[in-house]
Structures are given as structure tokens and as C-alpha cells.
Structure 1
Amino acid sequence: MGFVSLPEGAAWRHLDARVGFEVTYFLAQEDGYRVEGCTTAVEDRLSWIVEYAIDVDAAWRTRRARVTSRSASGRRRTLIEADGDGHWWIDGAHAPDLDGCLDVDLESSAMTNTFPVHRLGLAVGADADAPAAFVRALDLGVERIDQHYTRVPGESGRLEYDYSSPVFDFHCRLVFDESGLVMDYPGLAARER
């Protein structure tokens, strides 16, 4: 399954769970993409900003994520690195609990669902597990999150996936455009650009 080229940038408006916005830019590199973005939000009466620069290789496996958060409690930074074979390091320390993950998933971002969708390239009716290194918005804590994607028939020009994350007891249908970017993430985000 092929995707059309990514746009220069994209933007999402947060829904229901939080108020705010995310803006992302895609920079093609020799061996993949650098994705740079920023999310600003208010959630449970707390305001925060998360900035990120994520490098993915040509197979859409996360290789590096530099994430910074700001909130009333201060500023935090973390560097997450992966070898592309499922081994991870957080600020230089090996993180064996993330073994087997190939994607980073930012709690603050709708965009990071792009990574497994591109990497897996599922045909209609196919499904796959896609565990990820999940980065919390406020404290940048990193933990393993199990996720599952099932490609379902979509309406004209749209790609649709049934998505589930058991740890959050969350299930929804994600809608992507022809470039593999989330258009509709029920309860969390809607694409604005």
C-alpha cells in the first residue's frame, strides 16, 4: 500500500479531552524524515507546551526523539533513542521495558499515529500489534504502551483503522488522509490543515 507525499506541514485542533492545537512540519532526509512540531494545550485546568523533533528512518521506525515540555511546574527535556531493531535508550540509559517497540507515541500528539500506519502498510482487513514508547505530556515519563491497528474499508480517498489501546481501555476508528496523516481522532483531535 502506498501513500502520497507528505505535505510540508499539518495542524490539528484538540477535542474534548483538552483544548489546544498541534502544528507539525515534515522534513525529508536522505534516510527518512525529521518531524518537528509543537502542541499547546489546557487539560484538567493545567496548561502545557510540548515541543518535539522526531527522526524516523526510511522504514518509518523511530530512531530519535527530542522532547521538551513546559508547564507551571517547570521545563523538562528528554532524549529517546532507538536502534531500529526494538532497543531503546532514554537520556543515554538502556530501557529494556521498551524492547520490541518500533514507534514513539507522544501523549500530546495526534501526529505520532502516522508512524505505525506508514511502517505497517496494512492492506484492508489486515491487523497488527504496534507497541510504542509512550511519552507523557507533563513529566515526559516514558513507558511501553500496547496498541493494535486493524485496517478497515474506508470512504473515497480515506484510510480507516480500528485502533485500540488496552491500558487505557480505549477503542476508536481513526481516519487518515492519502498521505497517512490523521484526519479524525475521535475525542482527541481533528485535522485543521
Structure 2
Amino acid sequence: MLADLPSMAAWRFVAAVDGFEVVYPSPRRIRGHTSAVEDGRAYAVDYEIDLDDAWRTREVRVRNDTLDGPRSTVLTSDGAGSWTVDGVAAPHLDGLVDVDLEASACTNTFPVHRLDLPVGEVVAAPAAYVQALDLSVRRLEQTYRRRDARTFDYTSEGGAFRAVLTYDASGLVVDYPGIAVRFA
């Protein structure tokens, strides 16, 4: 059983992205903000993610600001795998129940809360992936394998990306090697 989420958490991005993320979790909602520079391009992203009681994503509101100006997008899900993006059906996302924001280390908590993973078992947890700079949305294939109570092997892009994620007692990422480290 996971502990209650803290009232706030923060991460520093490492390696390819320089910046930080701050989130304010509450029951059934995660509200967060990210500011970063990646490949010489600055962006700011703020988001609100509504979840149901089973930690399935129901609505995502994402806004960014870049040199090109502000943008926003809204994703909605019925919780059973049907999605819309800005009110338009998104069949390329059929079957997904999670969202993963490129600008967020926090969104890797959703599968950990939603899935009851025995040690050693690999579980597919594909997600609707929202890019930080242009807010485009695509399907992201990813897997989680529990190593122990707080450590998971994570893969995405068909195994092209691999990391060992460490979580705290509440199921929030503490260390995402090459991506982010929690500092609060």
C-alpha cells in the first residue's frame, strides 16, 4: 500500500534538459509547472491532470509558452481507452488509460499507482504522450517491471530507452536517471 501523496514535490532535470518541475497533488488531480531549456530552446509548461479513483487519466489540460508563443491542448478519456484531443476523436490513442507528459517526471507515477505489479513481472503501460514544445500527442509504448518495493525497470520506444526508476513511499519518482532527480 502506498503512502499518501505529499502536498508538493519538485524535480531538477538533468542531462539533455536543464530546468525544473513543481507539482501540487491532490485527490484525483495533479497540477504542475515545468520550466526548461532543451537543445537551446526554452519552454514553460503548466498542466492539470484529472484522474479517476483507479488512477486512470480522465482529462488533461496542458499549456506551454515558447519563443513561438503560447499553445494549449485538452485531452479527454472515458477511462476505458477512448480519447479526444481538443474535442476530436483520437483513434491512435485507443486502449490507453495513462498520459505521459514529456515535460514531467511526475506522470510516471500513474502506472505505479494503477497497476498491482508483482516483483519481476513486466507489464505494458502504453500512454498518450504529449510533447513539450509543440503539444503534439502520440502513442508511447512503455513497460514497467518491479524490481522491489520502490524500484522499477522502465522502457519506452520499444526498448530503445531504458532506465531504472526509484520511487518514494507515496509512489512519486525520486530518481529518473538521465531525466530528473527529486529535491523536494
Normalised by the size of structure 2, how large is the TM-score?
0.98
Q: Secondary structure at the match of 1:153?
A: coil
Shift of 1:166: 2.4
Please name the residue that 1:20 is paired with: 19
Please name the residue that 2:120 is paired with: 125
- Deviating above 6 A after TM superposition, structure 1's stretches of 4 or more consecutive aligned residues are none
Please name the residue that 1:148 is paired with: 143
Q: Give structure 1 stretches of 5+ with no counterpart.
A: none
Counterpart-to-counterpart distance in 2, 1:109 and 1:191? 12
Please name the residue that 2:56 is paired with: 61
Aligned amino acid, residue 10 of structure 1:
A
Aligned amino acid, residue 78 of structure 2:
D
Counterpart-to-counterpart distance in 2, 1:168 and 1:35? 28
Counterpart-to-counterpart distance in 2, 1:119 and 1:132? 13
Within-5 A mapping of 1:99-114:
99-114=94-109
Work out whether 1:74 is the aligned partner of 2:79: no
Please name the residue that 1:88 is paired with: 83
Choose from 155, 159, 184 the match for 1:164: 155
Counterpart-to-counterpart distance in 1, 2:96 and 2:129? 10
Normalised by the size of structure 1, how large is the TM-score?
0.93
Aligned amino acid, residue 183 of structure 1:
V
Choose from 162, 167, 188 the match for 2:179: 188
Q: Secondary structure at the match of 1:124?
A: coil
Please name the residue that 2:3 is paired with: 4
Shift of 1:184: 0.3
Shift of 1:126: 2.0
Shift of 1:121: 2.4
Shift of 1:45: 0.5
Aligned amino acid, residue 90 of structure 2:
A
Shift of 1:134: 0.1
Aligned amino acid, residue 15 of structure 1:
V
Do the aligned partners of residues 106 and 23 (structure 1) sit closer, same or farther apart at CA in structure 2, a change above 3 Å counting? same
Q: Secondary structure at the match of 1:128?
A: strand
Counterpart-to-counterpart distance in 2, 1:38 and 1:122? 29
Q: For 1:152-182, what per-residue CA distance to the aligned partner results, in whole angstroms no more than 9, with x for missing partners? A: 025xxxx000000125710110000110000
Work out whether 1:43 is the aligned partner of 2:42: no
Shift of 1:23: 0.1
